[in-house]
Amino acid sequence: MAMNVYDENRILSATPVELVRILYAAAVREVDSAREHLRGGNIAGRSREITKAQMILLELAGSIDRGQGAEIAGRLVALYDYMLGRLTEANIQQEDRPLAEVSRLLMTLQEGWSQRPMVEEGELAIAGR
C-alpha cells in the first residue's frame, strides 16, 4: 500500500515520541489485519501482515537507547522479543491466540505512549534517537 502525502509529511515532521506512537498504531493495524487474514484462511496475507508487525517491533527495539533508562529499556526490549516470538508462533501454528495477545500488549503500550506528554529531548532514551 502506497503512503499518501499526508502520512509521509506526518512521519517526516514527527518528533521521536510521535514516531513511536505512529509505529505502535501501525503495528496494531498489522496484527489486527493478520487476524482477519487468519479468519479468512488467507495464508499469504496473514504471513505478510505478521512480517510487517515484526519489522515494526524490530525498528522499535533498535531505536531504544540502552545507555539511558537502562532498566526500562531492557524490559521494553524483552517485551518486544517476547512479542516477536509470539508472532512467529502465530504464523507457524496458524493460531489466533498469540495474535490476540500481541494486539493487547501493543494497544497497552500505544495507550501509554498516547497519554505521555511530549517530553524534553533528554528524556527520549526509550523513545529512540
Residue 127 has pLDDT above 80, yes or no: no
CA distance 3 to 125: 28
The three grid cell numbers given for residue 32, joined into one nine-digit string: 489486527
Q: pTM for the full model?
A: 0.82
Quote the pLDDT of residue 129.
44
pLDDT of residue 117: 64
- pLDDT, average across residues 103-117: 88
pLDDT tens digits, one per residue of 25-56: 999 999 999 999 999 999 999 999 999 999 99
Q: Which residues contact 43 (CB under 8 A, 6 or more apart)?
A: 37, 94
DSSP string, 44-102: HHHHHHHHHHHHHHHHHHHT--TTSSHHHHHHHHHHHHHHHHHHHHHHHHT-HHHHHHH
pLDDT score of 3: 64
Domains and CATH numbers, the chain: 17-123 (1.20.120.340)
Mean pLDDT score across all residues of the chain? 86
The reported pLDDT for the residue numbered 118 is 55
- Identify residue 92 by its one-letter amino acid code: I
